[in-house]
């Protein structure tokens, strides 16, 4: 089987064809990646493409220039890179974009990576998606071992959805969410809270999510990349949103975790969960267990810092992974304590110049 892009062989899709794992693969201890502040890095987010079929106003400009294909890691290289991290202690792997499901032959990569679920080395393989491709791929995702997905959805109003995403079709996304639920996938809806845009829809979104068995996570907009609008006009602190919710609902903090930064509460009246990701009002750096790799092989130890390590060069320099492993170790050794996001009228420039679609949403 080839990866469909370079003609190079990629790991086979079916369990019967996968290479045998060592008998003790699931029980043998893995070396942990420990950063300078004693945090174990066990969660990897990998962007498989910077391309997307939407142009969300808080994420990217409408006239985006995307990377040349030669700069983007092949599916085989992405498999090698993810496997190296898994062998070094990563237990949760999330594939992101751009929109990951628009990457050509992406299911070949996902089916290949599922061998680590079979071996027990990987606890979870998940996807963050805008939902546009779920109607055709939901069953394949479930068959490949994916059990949970995040769907980015900021509104249930068709006109507002078009205004936020520019190119998206709400009906297509809703069909995808229904298909994912029918396939057996657990769904978490990610909603970026935007002042004056969708803040009045947060309660209806929460009630819709909980009525359909979905979790809802609210996210503060972050100062990443140059966009067409002014983020000071978009920024809505979730401390204010939570206060508003508490006026109408009983929110009980719970210890539920998915591996990411969200802090969850149970909404007693609906019985569902709501999460809050607050990089601006209350950062979550003290417990950060995550690193991110771009589709070009750049490892970012912190979403809000520019420091990165190039993993593409060592990945392509040798068929073995020793150089890659050394580069990962060196990078983890300089993972910072936290980020310094600011959004105000005096700080109009983004905290970092790269767009969220480059690092991985």
What is the distance between the alpha carbons of residues 332 and 31, in angstroms, rounded to a whole number?
13
Flag whether 82 is marked binding.
no
Flag whether 292 is marked binding.
yes
Flag whether 173 is marked binding.
no
Beta strand pairing call for 273-277 and 263-267: antiparallel
Q: What angle do CA 65, 296, 25 make, to 5 degrees?
A: 145
Flag whether 348 is marked binding.
no
Flag whether 213 is marked binding.
no
Flag whether 28 is marked binding.
no
Strand partners, 300: 292, 308
Flag whether 94 is marked binding.
yes
- In order, the DSSP letters of 134-197 are HHHHHHHHHHTT--EEEEE---S-HHHHHHHHSS--HHHHHHHHHHHHHHT-EEEEEEEEBTTT
Flag whether 209 is marked binding.
no
Which residues fall within 8 angstroms of residue 259, CB to CB, at 6 or more apart?
A: 42, 43, 92, 124, 289, 290
Cα dihedral 132, 178, 109, 128 sign: positive
Flag whether 98 is marked binding.
yes
Flag whether 248 is marked binding.
no
| Residues across the chain | 361
Q: Would you call 217 helix, strand, or coil by DSSP? A: strand
Flag whether 338 is marked binding.
no
From the annotation, which residues make up the binding site for GTP?
Answer: 45, 94, 128, 188, 290-292
From the annotation, which residues make up the binding site?
Answer: 45, 52, 56, 58-59, 94, 98, 128, 152, 188, 222, 285, 288, 290-292, 302
From the annotation, which residues make up the binding site for [4Fe-4S] cluster?
Answer: 52, 56, 59, 285, 288, 302
From the annotation, which residues make up the binding site for S-adenosyl-L-methionine?
Answer: 58, 98, 152, 222
């Amino acid at each position: 089987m080839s990866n469909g892009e370079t003609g190079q062989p990629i790991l086979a899709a079916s369990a019967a064809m996968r290479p045998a794992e060592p008998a003790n693969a699931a029980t043998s201890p893995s070396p942990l990646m420990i950063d300078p502040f004693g945090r174990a890095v066990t969660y990897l987010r990998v962007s498989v493409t910077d391309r997307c079929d939407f142009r969300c106003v808080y994420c990217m400009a409408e006239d985006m220039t995307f990377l040349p294909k030669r700069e983007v890691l092949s599916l085989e290289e992405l498999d090698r890179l993810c496997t190296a991290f898994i062998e070094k202690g990563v237990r949760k792997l999330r594939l992101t974009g751009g929109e990951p499901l628009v990457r050509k032959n992406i299911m070949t990569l996902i089916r290949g990576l599922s061998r680590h679920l079979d071996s027990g080395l990987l606890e979870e393989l998940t996807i963050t998606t805008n939902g546009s491709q779920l109607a055709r791929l939901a069953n394949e995702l479930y068959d490949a071992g994916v059990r949970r997905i995040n769907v980015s959805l900021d509104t249930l109003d068709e006109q507002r959805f078009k205004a936020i995403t520019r190119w998206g079709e709400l009906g297509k996304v809703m069909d995808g969410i229904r298909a994912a639920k029918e396939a057996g996938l657990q769904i978490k809806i990610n909603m970026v809270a935007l002042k004056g845009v969708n803040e009045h829809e947060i309660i209806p979104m929460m009630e819709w999510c909980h009525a359909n068995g979905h979790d809802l996570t609210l996210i503060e907009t972050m100062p990443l990349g140059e966009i067409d609008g002014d983020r000071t006009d978009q920024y809505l602190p979730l401390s204010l949103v939570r206060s508003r919710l508490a006026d109408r609902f009983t929110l009980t903090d719970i210890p539920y975790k998915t591996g990411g930064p969200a802090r969850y509460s149970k909404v007693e009246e609906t019985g569902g969960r709501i999460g809050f990701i607050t990089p601006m009002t209350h950062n979550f750096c003290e417990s950060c267990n995550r690193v991110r790799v771009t589709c070009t092989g750049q490892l970012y130890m912190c979403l809000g810092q520019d420091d990165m390590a190039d993993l593409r060069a060592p990945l392509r320099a040798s068929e073995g992974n020793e150089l890659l492993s050394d580069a990962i170790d060196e990078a983890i050794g300089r993972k910072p304590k936290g980020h310094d996001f600011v959004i105000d009228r005096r700080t109009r420039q983004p905290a970092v110049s790269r767009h969220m679609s480059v690092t991985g949403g």
